[in-house]
Amino acid sequence: MTLPLRPDLVGLEPYGAPQLDVPTLLNVNENPYQPPEVVVEAVVAAVREAAHGLNRYPDRDFLDLRAELAGYLATESGAVGLDASRVWAANGSNEVMLHVLQAFGGPGRVAMSFAPTYSMYPEYARDTLTGWHVVPREPDFSVDPDAAIAEIRRVRPAVVLLASPNNPTGTALPIETTRRLAEATRDTGPDGAATVLVVDEAYAEFRREGTPSAVTLLPEHPHLAVARTMSKAFAYAGARIGYLAAAPELVDALRVVRLPYHLSAVTQAVARAALAHADVLQKQVAAIRTERDACVAWLRERGFVAVDSDANFVLFGTFADRRSVWQGLLDRGVLIRETGPEQYLRVSIGTPEEMAAFRDALTEVTGA
């Protein structure tokens, strides 16, 4: 007997970085700080309250959570006009973006992105039977708007996925680039429809001064969607909450493809508890940004190439044999990520102690 596995899935392995038990974990861009005690207390109280109602299905449309996410996003980005009808959420922004492909991709359609970028994007395309087209970024990992627009006109993708700040390079898109792409994609999709332009801002809170969020462009562009997550800045990767802001018509299309009650009552309660303490969590974000800039400066001082980062990680190199450097760090208890362009490695920003362990290990391994 054989299982009737889809031919395109034969031999494929599940995606995921190694989960190893070592002292210094700097490989999946987690926030190194545990949620502060005041958040833990709020979570416990919220879950206790929600537990009494677990015999019932949760609020399917979770309008309270969506309104609170809209409020947070307005404060964080300075954008106007956000409300519950313009926000969507799911179990991580990966699920939110899968909803986008479920609603707007599909057989005969194409999703497109600019590499190197997040390795999950082609998986959303594969899982929704959407074609996949990838275009290389410029040598400095930026996206050239003229070249991008020409390629979009040629390929006519239903969806474009653009990470800003990008993973694994840390590169943020200038707001002018996003604006030009949004203006150029009103009729570049299938049959003269728009292309849905997804700006994945998973790392937005870590961006440097003077980099506005694409959320500020939403009022003029009903085919723009900005994805965010609580996994990184909110120190909430384990809670699995991601969200997206877009025009109400776009959000309504996502409501069609979601599974019923996809966001559990516990998840909704836990998300709202953290949102009520967003200000406390911002302090950790500031500490991580400082540590990131210090890491870039240190790497350059030691003669490495370090890519400018607006995120909570740094892509650095270059190594003729990056595997042996990665292994050397691991042998010293420091797990980073072997990803991105050949010759580069990516390190997530940890606590000052963790970054000291990283610097010591790298110095030993490379003699820098």
Task: Pick out residues in 1-30 that bind ligand PLP (CB under 6 A).
Answer: 29
Residue 331 C-beta: closest distance to ligand PLP, Å: 26
- Piece of 88-96, 254-262, 298-306, 340-348 that binds ligand PLP (CB under 6 A): 88-96
Considering the complex, state which of residue 92 and residue 212 has its C-beta at the smaller distance from ligand PLP.
92
Site size for ligand PLP, by CB under 6 A? Answer: 14
Give dist(CA 24, CA 336) in Å, integer. Answer: 9
| Bond prior to 23 in cis (omega within 30° of 0) | no
Under rule CB under 6 A, residue 88 binds ligand PLP: no
Residue 257 C-beta: closest distance to ligand PLP, Å: 17
Residue 228 C-beta: closest distance to ligand PLP, Å: 8
Beta strands in the chain (DSSP E): 24-25, 87-90, 110-115, 131-136, 159-163, 196-200, 224-229, 242-246, 305-306, 313-317, 334-335, 344-348
| Bond prior to 168 in cis (omega within 30° of 0) | yes
Residue nearest to ligand PLP (CB): 92
* Parallel, antiparallel or unpaired: strands 110-115 and 159-163: parallel
Under rule CB under 6 A, residue 31 binds ligand PLP: no
Residue 243 C-beta: closest distance to ligand PLP, Å: 9
Give dist(CA 135, CA 148) in Å, integer. Answer: 8
Which tokens go with 193? Answer: 């429809």
Under rule CB under 6 A, residue 245 binds ligand PLP: no
Task: Pick out residues in 185-204 that bind ligand PLP (CB under 6 A).
Answer: 200, 202
Nearest to 23 by CA among 332, 359, 362: 332
Give dist(CA 328, CA 304) in Å, integer. Answer: 17
- Piece of 133-141, 229-237, 263-271, 348-356 that binds ligand PLP (CB under 6 A): 229-237
Report the residue from 24, 113, 167, 177 that binds ligand PLP according to the rule CB under 6 A.
167
Report the residue from 72, 88, 118, 358 that binds ligand PLP according to the rule CB under 6 A.
118
* Contact (Cβ atoms closer than 8 angstroms) between residue 229 and residue 93: yes
State phi, psi for 24 to the nearest 5 degrees.
-120, 105
Report the residue from 145, 242, 317, 350 that binds ligand PLP according to the rule CB under 6 A.
242
Considering the complex, state which of residue 116 and residue 189 has its C-beta at the smaller distance from ligand PLP.
116
Is 193 in a helix, a strand, or coil?
Answer: coil
Interface residues with ligand PLP (CB under 6 A) are: 29, 92-94, 118, 163, 167, 200, 202, 229, 231-232, 237, 242
